[in-house]
Structure 1
């Protein structure tokens, strides 16, 4: 018969995994010579922008901005168009006093 893992078992496994990964990373931190500039992401992003790899993503973002502006303009004109259509419908449905004489 197997028993289900309890909350303390899960905590023990999490602690074990954390301690193993910490023990493995100790030699990496001791023997790798890292400079402060190695942790600066700006040069990497600048190279990616200059290489053109992010152009499709930037195009999608610009197109989404233009599409959003067009959708907002359409939504702003919608009440005006609805009011014009309603006025025309009411004019068609209203009885013409000259036609009833």
Structure 2
């Protein structure tokens, strides 16, 4: 019983795919230490990013409050200057 060309090509393709899967796993694990598989540094970086975002948000809120306060003071001072009686109305 002989095999057809399509069966030989299918078997060759299966062999190359298996070799590629094993080689990929080997390349991933080669020269890897246990610390490379530790998720804590990534979680720590994500947490620091969230903390940074919180600090940035607090900084923006404080800046907006100062801006509102300064604007209110400036508007009050301008209103006092514009509503002061002039020399002809005394």
Confirm or deny a common fold (TM above 0.5): no
Q: Greater helix share, 1 or 2?
A: 2
Structure of higher RCO (CA pairs closer than 8 Å, 6+ residues apart): 1
Report which of the two structures shows the higher radius of gyration computed on alpha carbons. 2
Range of TM-score over shorter length: 0.3 to 0.5
